[in-house]
Amino acid sequence: MLLDLLHRHLLQESTALGLSMQGRVVWTGGTTMDGINGAEDRISMDWETGPSPMQLMLQMVGACSLVDVVIGLKERPFSDAWVDLDSTRAETQPRRFTSITMVYHVVGDVPQKLVERVVAKSHEKYCSVSASLDPNIAVDWRVEVHPSSEA
């Protein structure tokens, strides 16, 4: 109990500085695990039925970049945003990603070029997750803006 309290305190203290991050992954039986952050938030994983660690990694690349898109468009009228992800993995171990394709969708009256600039900036500067990927992974993206009337 004391070790859990100490661990939680250390996780929260160092995370508050923003320069380090800790977590814990706990096997919960069978093929399941829980990922736990310093605030004790949990993400359940299952390496057979999903979400698997690789699926979560792919989704987190999309989530990180989508945060940048939503923040970058906050002054613009849009009602929905999402990113579709597709990937290719190596055929042999380790079966790492070899390519990731991202299609960003924004519903609203937003200029296509603006969304493209925001997405480019996310990939060039802001998205820590994609910046942490192996540079040999080909990451391609495109943007589709859907007028509000299509929604």
Per-position pLDDT tens, the chain of length 151? 444 544 454 455 555 567 888 999 999 999 999 999 988 999 999 999 988 999 999 999 999 999 999 999 999 999 999 999 999 999 999 999 999 999 999 999 999 999 999 999 999 999 999 999 999 999 999 999 999 875 5
| Single pTM value for the model | 0.82
- CATH 3.30.300.20 domain extents, the chain: 53-150
The dotted CATH code for 53-150 is 3.30.300.20
Amino acid at 100: I
Q: Within 13 Å of residue 16, how many CA atoms lie on the same side as its CB?
A: 7
